[in-house]
């Protein structure tokens, strides 16, 4: 196994806002890709690709922070996470085996908070959004933790390599995406344009202002379930925690489990667009050297978005308030791993409602307001309880039979 991080695979990261909260179920996404009929008036004015043909396909927004879309890999149906923060696409071990992609090379790659060992395969055919591409290489890794976190079988991560020489349009309000030729998008005045550059590991970088400070480079990462990630060094150097409530959270990724600081940043400015009150995590062992942090899907989902990597442009159009994807904020303080019939407490955030009520790691929740935990926990809406409004109260039943009332509150 090579003891190095190979820059050709870029930065790979599967960190989630709280991967620990979800668990080991395997409800498959059903059905074929959905080709959505466009509204001619809206599409011709907002999504103007000139004469270039565009076909829209549906994606599912899972647990409010992850885009999952249908694809085909070497002729096999698959479901993957759209993830521009991963320089290379990633196949699950099971998918690589079923597709008979057996010839592999050992590599060590970097995530945002550490390194891990993986295998690399070559000549992988992927069909996404009706377009076929043969990738010169892809990563093979165990995605079972990601599948468990989403309560669905995830076969691959659709990385930035799939969007080279393409223009990626994401319509969050209608849960659809489209691919077109690079340079084909024709923006009107309602769109704001940001320049995209590449980091040392081919990360997609834009300049942004945080808390009204001087602009800094941030990674554009549609596969990141955190609205904003920042390096602990940047947070310290700019005293971003001074005078504000903060806590900590457990995050999971390819590097394993780590704790990160947790707070709410006053503002994020991307060009001339302003995003207030952004939930933020601070990474103590931040690996990328070209950026101070990363903008994740919850922040980007406040906009219609166009990503044209080869053209070096990210276009954003602020959505009406009622069409934006909410930037979810935990108000319980419980880090949980969902088994098929319970939620196991694996972390308790300091100064949170759970810490106040002396919840302990290892305890198990089997019912929420009388509703039993089962494999559909992350498929329907029950998982949303932790993100309810401050002051909402939930009756939680433990595996011992004890019942506890938990009142949600803002704690960071």
**What separation in angstroms does the CA of 291 have from each of 52, 175, 230, 234, 308?**
34, 29, 9, 10, 20
Cα-to-chain-centroid distance, residue 190: 26
Which of 220, 326, 203 is CA-nearest to residue 270?
A: 220
What percent of the chain is helix, strand and coil (3-state, nearest 5)? Answer: 15, 40, 45
Q: What is the pLDDT along the chain (412 residues), one digit of tens a residue?
A: 333 333 233 333 334 433 333 332 223 233 333 333 334 444 556 899 998 889 999 999 999 999 999 999 999 999 999 999 888 999 999 999 898 887 677 666 655 555 667 789 999 999 999 999 999 999 998 898 888 778 889 999 999 999 999 999 999 999 999 999 999 999 999 999 999 999 988 899 999 999 999 999 999 999 999 999 999 999 999 999 999 999 999 886 555 668 899 999 999 999 999 999 999 999 998 989 999 999 999 999 999 999 999 999 999 999 999 999 999 999 999 999 888 899 999 999 999 999 999 999 999 999 999 999 998 898 889 999 999 999 999 999 999 999 999 999 999 9
**DSSP letter string over 232-298?**
HHHHHHTTTTTTS-EEEEEEEETTEEEEEEEEEEEEEEETTEEEEEEEEEEETT---SS-SEEE-HH
Q: Please name which of 231, 309, 318 lies closest in space to residue 271, comparing C-alpha atoms.
A: 318
- Give the H/E segment covering residue 149: helix 144-150
Chain Cα centroid distance, residue 171 = 16
Three-state SS for 388? coil
Residue 332 CB burial class (10 angstroms; 0-12, 13-18, ≥19): buried
Q: Are 226 and 303 in contact (CB under 8 A)?
A: no
The alpha-helical segments, DSSP class H, found in 6-134 are 40-46, 93-98
């Amino acid at each position: 196994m090579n003891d190095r991080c190979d820059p050709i695979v870029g930065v790979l990261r599967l960190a989630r806002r709280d991967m620990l909260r979800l668990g080991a179920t395997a409800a498959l996404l059903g059905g074929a890709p959905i080709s959505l009929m466009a509204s001619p008036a809206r599409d011709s004015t907002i999504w103007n690709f000139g004469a270039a043909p565009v076909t829209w396909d549906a994606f599912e927004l899972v647990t409010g922070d992850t885009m999952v879309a249908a694809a085909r890999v070497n002729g096999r149906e698959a479901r993957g996470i759209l993830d521009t923060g991963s320089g290379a696409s990633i196949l699950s071990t099971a998918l690589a085996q079923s597709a008979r992609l057996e010839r592999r090379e050992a590599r060590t790659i970097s995530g945002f908070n550490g390194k891990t060992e993986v295998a690399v395969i070559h000549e992988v055919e992927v069909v996404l959004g009706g377009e076929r591409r043969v990738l010169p290489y892809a990563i093979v890794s165990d995605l079972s933790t990601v599948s468990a976190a989403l309560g669905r079988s995830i076969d691959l991560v659709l990385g930035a390599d799939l969007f080279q020489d393409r223009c990626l349009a994401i319509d969050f309000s209608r849960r659809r995406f489209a691919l077109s030729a690079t340079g084909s998008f024709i923006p009107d005045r309602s769109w704001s344009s940001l320049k995209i550059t590449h980091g040392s590991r081919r990360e997609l970088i834009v300049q942004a202002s945080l808390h009204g400070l001087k602009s800094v480079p941030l990674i554009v990462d549609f596969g990141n379930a955190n609205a904003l990630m920042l390096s602990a060094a940047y947070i310290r150097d700019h005293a971003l925690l001074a005078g504000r409530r903060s806590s900590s959270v457990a995050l999971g990724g390819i590097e394993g489990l780590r704790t990160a600081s947790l707070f709410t940043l006053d503002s994020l400015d991307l060009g001339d667009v302003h995003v207030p009150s952004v939930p933020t995590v601070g990474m103590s062992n931040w690996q990328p050297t070209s950026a101070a942090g990363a903008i994740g899907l919850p922040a980007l989902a406040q906009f219609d978005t166009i990503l044209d990597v080869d053209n070096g442009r990210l276009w954003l159009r602020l959505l009406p308030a009622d069409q934006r994807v909410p930037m979810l904020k935990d108000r319980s303080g419980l880090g949980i791993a969902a088994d098929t019939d319970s939620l196991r407490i694996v972390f308790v955030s300091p100064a949170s409602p759970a810490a106040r009520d002396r919840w302990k790691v290892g305890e198990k929740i089997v019912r929420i307001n009388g509703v039993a935990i089962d494999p559909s926990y992350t498929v329907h809406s029950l998982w949303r309880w932790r993100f309810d409004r401050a002051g909402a109260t939930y009756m939680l039943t433990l595996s011992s039979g004890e019942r506890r009332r938990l009142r949600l509150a803002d704690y960071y």
